[in-house]
């Protein structure tokens, strides 16, 4: 069953470089739906412009915080922590301030009710569509469907070595995939034509260029997908995740951390493939 909340509120334009916010002097409506596909769909409509949809994006439990801005009257901040995105809203529900916190609580309750440790639902969330830009007017490129093809068949030992180097940097139990697939690591991979040649077949046919390759790897949407995969690897279904990706799940017998086991399984698979060449 769908869960939904509608919050009458205006929106601010936020400049991440100058840190300045400018109020959009229009009536608005913020809408959040947790649909039957376990997706959290966020939309904001400009009611003074024929209900024009000006903000639309998918958000995720664990990376979304909606809270009051201290010292500001009826101003709330929606933060997407894994990509450092910020959206400021001002409440417009008459002057009944007491309803503000109730609306925000309902919003956060819906976010927290998203199920993220179910493998089949996780796969659906990882399949981010390019038809869902963050802003309607934006021309963002989303990450490719990483489940549409076998994940591993990399024919570059250099890329394997680079991945191993990243893994050896981290030994703590709270390792995240973004620690290994860091911005510097992804930037290095995205700018190397040899890595591109090794990986381009996993991109959609119309995006098999080094420019699309780079845009996909460093996009916030790709980082979101990695975060969701990390959550699954740390959950009860970590063995099923490895099996679904055709990786050796027996590694979990000796490595409790699902993220480390995931990377080790990739390294093992590539090495085994090299032996058979």
pLDDT tens-place string over residues 90-148: 999 877 788 899 999 999 999 988 886 544 444 455 444 333 444 433 333 333 333 33
Q: How confident is the model at residue 169 (pLDDT cuts 50, 70, 90)?
A: low
In the chain, domain spans: 3-112, 119-128+137-275
Q: Identify the burial level of 100 via C-beta atoms within 10 angstroms of its C-beta, where 0-12 means exposed, 13-18 middle and 19 or more buried.
A: middle
pLDDT tens-place string over residues 14-42: 888 888 888 888 999 999 999 888 889 99
Global pTM value: 0.45
pLDDT(205) > 50:
yes
| CATH class belonging to 3-112 | mainly beta
pLDDT at residue 81, rounded to an integer: 83
Other CB atoms closer than 10 Å to residue 122's CB: what's the count? 24
């Amino acid at each position: 069953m769908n869960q939904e909340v509608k919050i009458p509120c205006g929106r601010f334009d936020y400049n991440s470089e100058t840190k300045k916010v400018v109020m959009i002097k229009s009536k608005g409506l913020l809408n959040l739906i947790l649909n039957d596909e376990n997706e959290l769909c966020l939309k904001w409509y400009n009611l003074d412009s024929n209900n024009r949809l000006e903000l639309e994006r998918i958000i995720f439990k664990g990376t979304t915080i909606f809270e009051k801005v201290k010292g500001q009257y009826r101003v709330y901040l929606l933060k997407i922590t894994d990509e450092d995105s910020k959206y400021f809203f001002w409440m417009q529900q008459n002057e009944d301030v007491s309803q503000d916190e109730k609306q925000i609580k309902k919003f956060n309750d819906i976010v927290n009710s998203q199920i993220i440790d179910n493998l089949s639902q996780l796969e659906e969330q990882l399949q981010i569509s390019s038809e869902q830009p963050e802003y309607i007017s934006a021309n963002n490129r989303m990450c490719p469907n990483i489940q549409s093809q076998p994940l591993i068949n990399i024919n570059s030992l250099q890329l394997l070595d680079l991945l191993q180097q990243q893994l050896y940097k981290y030994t703590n139990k709270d390792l995240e995939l973004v620690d290994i697939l860091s911005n510097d690591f992804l930037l290095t991979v995205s700018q190397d034509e040899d890595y591109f040649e090794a990986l381009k077949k996993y991109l959609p046919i119309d995006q098999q260029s080094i420019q699309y390759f780079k845009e996909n790897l460093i996009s916030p949407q790709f980082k979101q997908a990695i975060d969701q995969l990390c959550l699954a690897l740390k959950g009860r279904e970590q063995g099923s995740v490895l099996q679904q990706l055709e990786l050796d799940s027996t590694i979990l017998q000796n490595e409790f951390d699902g993220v480390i086991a995931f990377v080790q399984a990739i390294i093992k698979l590539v090495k085994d493939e090299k032996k058979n060449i």
